[in-house]
């Protein structure tokens, strides 16, 4: 009898361990999908109520989708376990803080979606933040800026920070009332598509887009918002 209960207790402990493991892994679904004729490994963590970046996913994932969660910050070294990531989707959270070492280790990243968050481009971001991901070709950071207080003041985009991203071919960003794009943007010589979310735009001049490459093929100013949120469009 005693032996049976010990046995049962052991089985019970094993079962609990097994359950915890499955529970943690089941935060996200691991799938294989075809992207540009290539099979990639995707961790789908969309809409799981997460307020942290999961650290227990397979180290060889190529796509991480953490969109529509409750993230408010990206801390240093958040992705160092996922060095094969090509695409990172952080859209639709409430991210307002990016540590300067947030993207460390993401040397293969090609696409970054940070749209629909609360990042303020006028905050002092250090130029080093994008250095690990300077090979990025697609970057979407639209629908982030808070409603401006002063609609007449020039807004100087932090070109020393963005200029690092010289391989970009697609950039989506918020347009401020009186935008000023510094010379750092002229380093984006591969830029083909430039999309502005222009909720607050008041004035453009003949020099506004001067810094951007002559090779630009598509420039859009959109007032349409997919989310009726704080962006007030
Ligand atoms: C994050 O890393 C940077 C260096 O990449 C360092 O300067 C900074 O102090 C770190 N921040 C925190 C909160 O540890
Ligand atoms: C960018 O890509 C080039 C060539 O593909 C590679 O040599 C370089 O190490 C990459 N840079 C970074 C920061 O990953
Ligand atoms: C821009 O327009 C102003 C007048 O509004 C003109 O004096 C200036 O030469 C123009 N600059 C360019 C680069 O076309």
Q: What is the DSSP letter of 162?
A: H
What pLDDT, in 10s, does the model give residues 23-72? 344 489 999 999 889 999 999 999 999 999 999 999 999 999 999 999 99
In whole angstroms, what separates CA 94 from the centre of its chain? 11
116: alpha, beta or left? (left if phi > 0; alpha if psi -120 to 50): left
Percent of the chain topping pLDDT 90: 63
Q: Identify the CA nearest to 40 among candidates 65, 69, 60, 20.
A: 60
With a 6 Å cutoff on the Cβ, whether 122 touches ligand 1 is no
For residues 216 and 168, the model is more confident at 168
pLDDT at 97 exceeding the cut of 90: yes
What pLDDT, in 10s, does the model give residues 142-154? 999 988 888 888 9
- Going by DSSP bridges, is the β-strand pair 87-89/73-74 parallel, antiparallel, or unpaired? unpaired
Tell me, in angstroms, the distance from the centre of ligand 1 to residue 52's CA.
18
Give the C-alpha separation, 143 to 97, whole Å. 15
**222: helix, coil or strand?**
strand
- Supply angle C-alpha 39, 77, 43, rounded to 5: 25
Give the C-alpha separation, 88 to 72, whole Å. 16
Question: Of ligand 2's atoms, which has the minimum distance to the CA of residue 131?
Answer: 13
Mean pLDDT, range 148-175, rounded to an integer? 92
Q: Which residues pair with 200 in a beta bridge?
A: none
Q: What are the residue boundaries of the structural domains of the chain, listed by start?
A: 46-53+64-222
What's the pLDDT score for residue 20? 38
46-53+64-222: CATH architecture: Alpha-Beta Horseshoe (3.80)
Q: Could you tell me the sign of the dihedral formed by the alpha carbons of 189, 98, 75, 226, in that order? A: negative
Confirm if 111 and 134 have CB atoms less than 8 A apart. no
- Going by DSSP bridges, is the β-strand pair 29-35/38-44 parallel, antiparallel, or unpaired? antiparallel
Residue 193 buriedness (CB in 10 A; 0-12 / 13-18 / 19+): middle
Pocket-testing residue among 79, 107, 112, ligand 2, by greatest number of atoms within 8 A of Cβ: 107
With a 6 Å cutoff on the Cβ, whether 206 touches ligand 3 is yes
Tell me, in angstroms, the distance from the centre of ligand 1 to residue 99's CA.
7
What's the pLDDT score for residue 224? 58
Tell me, in angstroms, the distance from the centre of ligand 1 to residue 100's CA.
6
């Amino acid at each position: 009898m005693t032996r049976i209960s010990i046995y049962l207790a052991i089985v019970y402990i094993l079962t609990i361990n097994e359950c915890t493991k499955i529970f943690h892994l089941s935060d996200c679904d691991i799938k294989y999908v075809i992207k540009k004729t290539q099979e990639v490994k995707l961790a789908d963590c969309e809409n799981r109520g997460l307020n942290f970046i999961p650290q227990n996913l397979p180290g060889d994932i190529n796509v991480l989708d953490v969109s529509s969660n409750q993230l408010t910050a990206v801390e240093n070294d958040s992705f160092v376990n996922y060095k094969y990531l090509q695409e990172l989707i952080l859209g639709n959270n409430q991210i307002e803080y990016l540590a300067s070492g947030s993207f460390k280790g993401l040397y293969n990243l090609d696409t970054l979606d940070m749209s629909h968050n609360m990042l303020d481009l006028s905050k002092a971001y250090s130029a080093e933040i994008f250095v690990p991901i300077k090979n990025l070709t697609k970057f979407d950071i639209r629908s982030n800026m808070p409603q401006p207080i002063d609609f007449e003041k020039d807004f100087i985009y932090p070109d020393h920070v963005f200029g690092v991203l010289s391989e970009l071919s697609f950039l989506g960003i918020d347009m401020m009332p009186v935008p000023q794009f510094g010379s750092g943007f002229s380093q984006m010589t591969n830029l083909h598509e430039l999309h502005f979310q222009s909720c607050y735009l008041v004035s453009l001049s003949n020099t506004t887009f001067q810094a951007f490459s002559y090779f630009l093929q598509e420039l859009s100013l959109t007032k349409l918002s997919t989310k009726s949120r704080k962006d007030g469009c």
